[in-house]
C-alpha cells in the first residue's frame, strides 16, 4: 500500500493524502519519506501552484507519530534530514499548502497542520497537543508555532493541559480558516485553492515568502525582503499580463514566470 498518495486533481492543484487509515494516519517511516517526496515533487513542478494535504478514512487527519514504530526502535525514521518530522514540518516550501482536516489532528498531526499555510476542517474534527500527558514535548514545532497561530493564553492552555479543542473553537481562535460538514472538507479545500490559483503564481509565492518571515525578522529586515520581492515580481511576464488584462477587460492568463 502507498502510505502517501499524490494526484493533480485540477489544473495547478495537487492533492496529497496520508494513506494509513487503519493507523489513524500516524506517521511512520514510509509516510515521512512519502511526504518529503511529495514536497520535492511539488516544488519542482512549475505547473503546481497549490497543494492540499489530507488524511484517508475520515477518522483522523493524522494522529501524530506511530508509537509502535517508536517502541520498536524505529523512531528515527519518522523524520528526514530535509523535512524534519513527517518529512514535512521543516521542509522548505514556496507553494501554498492547505490542510484539509477530517477527524483528529493531534500531537504531530496538529504540528503538520501548523506547518501548512491555510486549513479547512470538518465539523467533527478535534485539535490538540497532548504530549505532556505522556511526559513528552511537542517538539515538531507545536510548542512555538501554536502560540504564533492563536492567542497566547489559549495556546499555553492547550500546551500545558494537553486537552483538545473542537473544530468550532479552532475556527473561533483562528487556528483554521473554515469549518464545513465532515464530508465536504476536501471540496472546501479545493474551493479555497481555486481562489488562490486565479492569481499570479509568482506574486503569490513571493508574497508568501515575505509573510512567512513576519515573526522572524525585524521591521527593517522585512522592508528589505519586501522590496526584493517587489523587484523580483516586476521582472516576470505576469507583471505585464496583469495590467494588460485589466485594460482589455478579460481574465489574465498567467504563465508563472
Sequential DSSP letters for 150-209: S-HHHHHHHHHH---EEHHHHHHTTSSSEEE-GGGHHHHHHHHHHHHHTS-HHHHHHHHH
Say how many domains are in the chain.
2
pLDDT in tens, the chain (257 residues): 699 999 999 999 999 999 999 999 999 999 999 999 999 999 999 999 999 999 999 899 999 998 888 878 887 889 999 999 999 999 999 999 999 999 999 999 999 999 999 999 999 999 999 999 999 999 999 999 999 999 999 999 999 999 999 999 999 999 999 999 989 999 999 999 999 999 999 999 999 999 999 999 999 999 999 999 999 999 998 888 888 888 888 888 888 88
Residue 188: give its domain's CATH number. 3.90.226.10
Q: Which of 176, 197, 218 is the last residue of a domain?
A: 197
Q: Which residues of 65-84 are buried (b: 16+ CB within 10 A; e: fewer)?
A: bbeebeeeeeeebbbbeebb
Whole-number Å distance between alpha carbons of 52 and 119: 9
Residue-range definition of the domain harbouring residue 213: 201-247
- The answer to whether position 64 is within a domain reads yes
| pLDDT of 151 | 96
Q: Looking at the structure, tell me whether residues 106 and 211 fall in a common domain.
A: no
Grid coordinates 494535504 are at which residue? Answer: 53
| pLDDT of 156 | 98
DSSP 116: S
Q: Looking at the structure, tell me whether residues 134 and 117 fall in a common domain.
A: yes
Q: What pLDDT digit, counting tens, does each position of 50-81 carry? A: 999 999 998 999 999 988 888 788 878 899 99
The β-bridge relationship of strands 79-80 and 84-85 is antiparallel
- The answer to whether position 257 is within a domain reads no
| Residue among 10, 111, 171, 235 flagged as catalytic | 111
CA torsion through residues 76, 81, 86, 87, sign: negative
- The answer to whether position 252 is within a domain reads no
| Residue among 131, 157, 171, 241 flagged as catalytic | 131
- The answer to whether position 71 is within a domain reads yes
221 is an active site residue = no
Q: Looking at the structure, tell me whether residues 38 and 148 fall in a common domain.
A: yes
3 is an active site residue = no
Q: Give the predicted TM-score (pTM) of the model.
A: 0.94
| pLDDT of 247 | 85
Q: Looking at the structure, tell me whether residues 188 and 205 fall in a common domain.
A: no
| pLDDT of 14 | 98
- The kind and range of the H/E element at 34 are helix 29-44
Q: Looking at the structure, tell me whether residues 137 and 233 fall in a common domain.
A: no
Whole-number Å distance between alpha carbons of 225 and 229: 6
Q: Looking at the structure, tell me whether residues 173 and 76 fall in a common domain.
A: yes
- The answer to whether position 150 is within a domain reads yes
| pLDDT of 1 | 67
Question: Considering only CA atoms, which of 171, 163, 167 is closest in space to residue 182?
Answer: 167
| pLDDT of 249 | 85
Q: Looking at the structure, tell me whether residues 104 and 215 fall in a common domain.
A: no
Q: Looking at the structure, tell me whether residues 114 and 19 fall in a common domain.
A: yes
| pLDDT of 221 | 96
* DSSP letter for each residue of 213-234: TTTTS-HHHHHHHHHHHHHHHH
Amino acid at each position: 500500500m502507498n502510505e502517501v498518495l499524490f494526484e493533480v486533481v485540477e489544473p495547478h492543484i495537487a492533492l496529497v493524502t496520508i494513506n494509513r487509515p487503519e493507523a489513524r494516519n500516524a506517521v511512520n517511516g514510509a509516510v515521512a519519506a512519502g511526504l518529503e517526496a511529495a514536497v520535492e515533487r511539488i516544488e519542482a513542478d512549475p505547473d503546481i501552484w497549490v497543494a492540499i494535504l489530507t488524511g484517508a478514512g475520515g477518522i483522523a487527519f493524522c494522529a501524530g507519530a506511530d508509537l509502535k514504530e517508536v517502541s520498536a526502535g524505529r523512531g528515527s525514521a519518522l523524520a528526514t534530514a530535509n523535512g524534519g518530522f513527517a518529512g514535512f514540518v521543516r521542509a522548505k516550501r514556496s507553494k501554498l499548502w492547505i490542510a484539509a482536516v477530517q477527524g483528529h489532528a493531534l500531537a504531530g498531526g496538529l504540528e503538520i497542520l501548523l506547518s501548512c499555510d491555510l486549513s479547512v476542517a470538518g465539523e467533527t474534527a478535534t485539535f490538540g497537543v497532548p504530549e505532556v500527558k505522556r511526559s513528552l514535548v511537542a517538539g515538531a514545532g507545536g510548542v512555538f508555532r501554536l502560540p504564533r497561530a492563536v492567542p497566547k493564553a489559549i495556546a499555553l492552555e492547550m500546551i500545558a493541559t494537553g486537552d483538545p479543542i473542537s473544530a468550532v473553537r479552532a475556527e473561533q481562535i483562528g487556528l483554521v480558516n473554515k469549518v464545513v460538514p465532515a464530508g465536504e472538507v476536501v471540496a472546501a479545500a479545493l474551493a479555497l485553492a481555486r481562489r488562490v490559483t486565479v492569481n499570479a503564481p509568482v506574486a503569490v509565492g513571493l508574497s508568501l515568502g515575505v509573510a512567512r518571515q513576519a515573526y522572524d525578522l525585524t521591521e527593517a529586515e522585512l522592508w528589505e525582503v519586501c522590496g526584493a520581492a517587489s523587484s523580483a515580481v516586476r521582472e516576470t511576464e505576469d507583471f505585464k499580463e496583469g495590467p494588460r488584462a485589466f485594460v482589455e477587460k478579460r481574465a489574465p492568463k498567467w504563465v508563472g514566470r
